[in-house]
Amino acid sequence: MLTIENLYKSFGKVMAVNDFNLHVQKGETVVLMGPSGCGKSTTIRTINRLVEPDRGTISVSGTEITKLATEQLRQIRKRIGFVFQQFNLIARLTAVENVMLGLVMDGISREVAYDKAMIALEKVGLEKRAEHKSGEMSGGQQQRVGIARALAFEPELMLWDEPTASLDPILVREVLVIMEDLAKYRASTMLVVTHEISFAIHVADRIVLMDKGSIVEEGVPENVFGSPRSAIGQQYKELIEYQQLTNARTLSGKNIA
């Protein structure tokens, strides 16, 4: 579904992504984790070329994105949903308009777009807040609108760029529930950048750990967090153990190790 090979991206002297290689199967949920500034967001943004990569190839369903012209890129972006950390809603538009925006711009009539948008909002439980603007909603609601906007196109690939990072713990749950549902029903392939370890443990099919722009370790959550091979993995393991000591409960009630 998604293949990233030899991806490089630098900002000046800083090498944000350094020879990054990843293959994601269709319907798979891959969680990208790593310390802040390790290049996770840059990597995920290069996939739909919100950030232009310096080198490497990125293919989505066999389409090499890095070689696409502007118009083709626009078309493929419609097949890739993107959820931002800061929600990135259009402030002047209502929730439903935010969701409709991409659809209408794609040539879909307003009526059809509205219906689709309302369905998407229903999925995230916000159909009753459809006419509210972002300023009138909580952070969690805004992010759910963002998710609905990404889902409206029924994308084959969903990219999540730390969707809960800007939310308080109570609101995080609103979002994670939706994400879990999406993952559970394999509605689309998901690549998630997050620091939510519990989410990663419970939802991810595969964990990819990054450090200094490169993958340092990848595997199923049990291996990565249970028997880490990398220092980053080890740190995550210690963190989980610490959390377990202080709070025996996990999100789904499972015990690790």
Summarize as ranges the residues that interact with other proteins (CB under 8 A).
11-13, 48, 50, 52, 70-71, 74-78, 80, 82, 84, 86-93, 97, 100-102, 104-106, 110, 146, 149-150, 153
Q: How far is the CB of 68 from other proteins (least distance, A)?
A: 12
Q: Could you give the angle at the alpha carbon of 50 between the alpha carbons of 37 and 135, nearest 5°? A: 85
Considering the complex, what minimum distance in angstroms separates the CB of residue 91 from other proteins? 7
Residue 145 or 215: the one with the smaller Cβ distance to other proteins is 145
Q: Distance between CA 137 and CA 144 in Å, rounded?
A: 10
- Of residues 92, 28, 95, 17, the one with CA closest to residue 58: 17
- Whole-number minimum distance, CB 230 to other proteins, in Å? 31
4 beta partners: 22, 58
Which uninterrupted H or E stretch holds 156? none
Measured between alpha carbons, how far is 142 from 139 in angstroms, rounded to an integer? 5
Closer CB to other proteins, 15 or 50, in the complex: 50
The tally of CA atoms less than 13 A away on the side-chain side of residue 53 is 29
Nearer to other proteins, 74 or 254 (CB): 74
Whether residue 207 contacts residue 197, with contact meaning beta carbons closer than 8 Å, is answered with no
Query: Could you give phi then psi for residue 235, rounded to 5 degrees?
Result: -65, -40
Whether the CB-CB separation of 128 and 137 falls below 8 Å is answered with: no
Q: Which residues pair with 166 in a beta bridge?
A: none
Query: In what helix (H) or strand (E) does residue 224 lie, and over which residues does it extend?
Result: helix 221-226
Q: Tell me the closest approach of the beta carbon of residue 61 to other proteins, in angstroms.
A: 15
CB of 50 to other proteins, least distance (A): 6
Question: In the bound complex, what is the minimum distance in angstroms from residue 202's beta carbon to other proteins?
Answer: 26
Nearer to other proteins, 100 or 232 (CB): 100
Nearer to other proteins, 123 or 133 (CB): 133
- Name the residue nearer to other proteins (CB basis): 84 or 199: 84
